Structure 1
Amino acid sequence: MSEHYQHRARKRFGQNFLHDAGVIHRILRSIHARQGERLLEIGPGQGALTEGLLGSGAQLDVIELDLDLIPILQHKFGQLPNFRLNQGDALKFDFRKLDAEPHSLRVVGNLPYNISTPLIFHLLSHADLIRDMHFMLQKEVVERLAAEPGGGDWGRLSIMVQYHCRVEHLFNVGPGAFNPPPKVDSAIVRLVPHEVLPHPAKDAAMLERVVREAFNQRRKTLRNTLKGLLDSAAIEAAGVDGSLRPEQLDLAAFVRLADQLVATGPSS
């Protein structure tokens, strides 16, 4: 590649470019893209995964924020008929303008730590369009996504993502796979939106509110942390023990609390 197309990773975008061929191959094998599928890559960087995704014959849209990377990506892939480049911020992107069929869009991304959580929530608001998502994230974020009740990793992120998706922690990736190497380990996660929610809430926004309040002070009991929303009698009516801490409750119990709040309104 000519000097004109060299690019240094930029700290403000949280860029760490994947360069390990073995890791790239393993990610592509996990995604297993096929001809005719609709793929969306968020933050393609210098195109480490892009090349393999396009090689599958799938139709690929990419979203890249860094203007300096646009000519590099156009130079590498712009002549391919199954490649389309969208310059912009994935956090503000309207995924519906891709005209994907329901449950068809396969989303891929090596996500910077600073936007990973808000971006996952933004994508979940379009869950009806998405077939699956494969993300490279900080390992501790993947552990929170895949957590089970009872441990310190179980919290708002685990519950709200598992409400919408099945979560699979696929494998870990060390810092040496990137340039520059990050200071943390990374991991690949697969999120598959449920076609039928296992624990549907009457009001998902109310569930979000209950979970946020519960974990604001995660060391306190539910009776204390939810007292602005539900009194002890309402918590008991939802079939939940108010003396438990929030991390001891599973998703179904939080849905029952949220439905109770919908039925009774906040405690005064």
Structure 2
Amino acid sequence: MKTNRILTLAVLCLLTGGLYSCTKDKNVAEDAPKQEELSAATLAQIKAQGFSTEGARKIEGGYLVEGDILLTDENLTQKVESPNLVIAKEEQYRTTNLVTTLPQVITVSVSNLPQVYKDATNIMIARYNALGLSLTFQLATTGTIGKIDIVGFNEGPSGGFITLGSAGFPTSQGKPFNKIRMNTNPAAYGTNPNLNYLASVIQHEVGHCIGMRHTDYMNRAYSCGSAGAGNEGQAGVGAIHIPGTPTGPDANSWMLACSNGGNRTFNANDIIALNYLY
């Protein structure tokens, strides 16, 4: 699906064996200063994990690859194992690690962000809970930090794109990734963010936190509408088809790499995939 926003994912806890998680806007005039180049050894480690090295850069906490995936130094030394589950050939995909100890209630907190982010989080929670999964979500008690904490960061455009948000994959201990970062820079969502659009981005990021990869990870050009969007790399994800899901592309999945800039929630195939896993 053609879009102007590339959704990215910060993979802080890769599989032992992550663009809603991070989103980017095309055609943004302002550019950030040039990033430092990575060493050949680091680039080789990134490539060995199955991720593209194009545009990889050092950021706080690790290395941002493919626009939205954050790899820590620990991730880069982890053994990539395969096969992992693929839900439909060009459909839903999950990482090696999933959330375990089911059923489970995952609390979500919103720290130091405007009220609209908490409102959007409540919409996200209602959307997931309506599916009747063994994972349910609830807003954390005021003043406490949830199992997933939504925090803000401020980062302007870089290279014609802007990151909207990022998240990671579940830990090897079966815990959901514990943080979603949402960009508060006005160039990301504007000064008055659209509530349903914000909810859709958070919904996508939560998908990463519980183990979902982009549905079009093999070729982001499918949703991003650009040949230069790139192949995210297999990163240990195999090709085991989940019965009941299609084997062709799906233009409406909530886990597409690129946002349509508006309200996007689960479609029928997404629900099949989530019910298969949870």
Into which bin does the TM-score normalised by the smaller protein fall? under 0.3
Structure having the larger proportion of residues in helix? 1
The structure with the larger Rg is 1
Bigger relative CO (Cα 8 Å, ≥ 6 apart): 2
TM-score (norm 1): 0.24
